[in-house]
Amino acid sequence: MNFTHFKAISLLLLLSFYSTFADEVTLKNGAVLPGKITKITKGSITFQTDFAGEIVIKLSKVESFKTEKDANLEYDNRQTVVGLIDYMNGQAVITPKKQVKEQDFKKSETAPTEENETTKVEALEPVVATEDFKNLWPIGSKHPDYVKPLKLWHYSIDLNVLKETGNTDEDEYEGGFKATYEKDGKIFKLFAAFDLGNKNGANTDEEYTGGFDYESPISLDHMQAWYSRYRWEKDRFDDLDARHTLAVGYSHYFLRDPKDITLRVRTGIAERIERYREDDSADNEKLAGDFQALFVKNFGQWGKFRTEALYAPVFEDPQEDYIYYLDVSHELPYSLSETMTLSLKVGYNREYTSLPSDESEKADNEFYLKLLLNF
């Protein structure tokens, strides 16, 4: 390799390096840092370097910097443009590119008073000199002062459709809706679900459920709470016209971290009223215990594992008259947007009634696969 080729390759490598890290920051101690300015806010520069990764430098220690790539720039009294900046000793020279319509501002001292408000800077506006430069952030990103609004309500819709044709024509439709409100440790849930099916033209499933669950903390760390819940059920093929369950009791969290692990147990008392369609003699009103356990493990992008169990023995005859419920599932999410996910949920559900009506089975088992839309 001759010297000319060596110089050409060296020049290409040098140009490649500076095209990746084109911005430049000069500190007051004379040090010059090549890299990429990713954000400037609250008197600090966030700087991405090849040699030290991301670093944050106080603007008071910077003598000068300049950018080579357009970014959102804010200066003076909430004036916002897209363009380049050349900064030296507190004086910023801004070269605007076009007018900006920034809709991601939070109400703050430096943000517009309305979400769609911006200073009108016409295209090809001459350069602007200012001593009151405030913020820099990438195009397409939110303003540094932006704070995601606290979302109090969360919703979930699930649907499962099964269709079989051939020797057997079978259709089954399952779906549900949940709405959850959370604030200061208080949790209020509304839910409703249905299960409909037919086989060769004859109905085989017709079940409806609905109700609410409310929990309010009684300790400052929110690890102890009282709860109340109501559940209504109707199942035509279990001869159940209506089952009303109203329960109140005490909740205790051994672990409570929605981002990691939640472990909760409940102990309470429930009033259960059952009305049957055909067998009126089976109608009853009973006082029962209400014992629940909940375990949730969050694996982040790999989903959420959940186990929920309920045991409700009737006080009058707890060994012979009881209901227990078990649901084990894993939910794998896919993000559609910042506030919406589509999840695939696979699980097993078992509900056991020790004294059902004469026409129904004691146990109801189900393996399921559902699509959930969370928003």
User: Bigger pLDDT: 212 or 63?
Assistant: 212
The secondary structure of 315-347 as a DSSP string is: TTSTTTSEEEEEEEEEEEEEEEETTEEEEEEEE
Report which of 222, 220, 375, 249 is spatially closest to residue 311, judged by C-alpha positions.
Answer: 249
Residue with tokens 């699980």: 347
* Angle ∠(329,332,336) on CA atoms, nearest 5: 140
Q: What is the mean pLDDT of the segment spanning 59-87?
A: 86
Checking if the pLDDT of 222 tops 50, the result is yes
Banded model confidence at residue 294, pLDDT cuts 50, 70, 90 = very high
Q: Quote the CA–CA distance of 65 and 129 in Å, as a whole number.
A: 15
User: Bigger pLDDT: 247 or 174?
Assistant: 247
Look at the pTM and tell me if it is higher than 0.85: no
User: Bigger pLDDT: 15 or 173?
Assistant: 173
Mapping DSSP to helix (H, G, I), strand (E, B) and coil, where does residue 15 land?
helix
Checking if the pLDDT of 142 tops 90, the result is no
**pLDDT for 126:** 63
Q: What is the mean pLDDT of the chain?
A: 82
User: Bigger pLDDT: 307 or 88?
Assistant: 307
**pLDDT for 359:** 61
Q: What is the CATH number of domain 153-374?
A: 2.40.160.40
* Angle ∠(283,284,287) on CA atoms, nearest 5: 160
**Domain definitions of the chain by residue range:** 3-137, 153-374
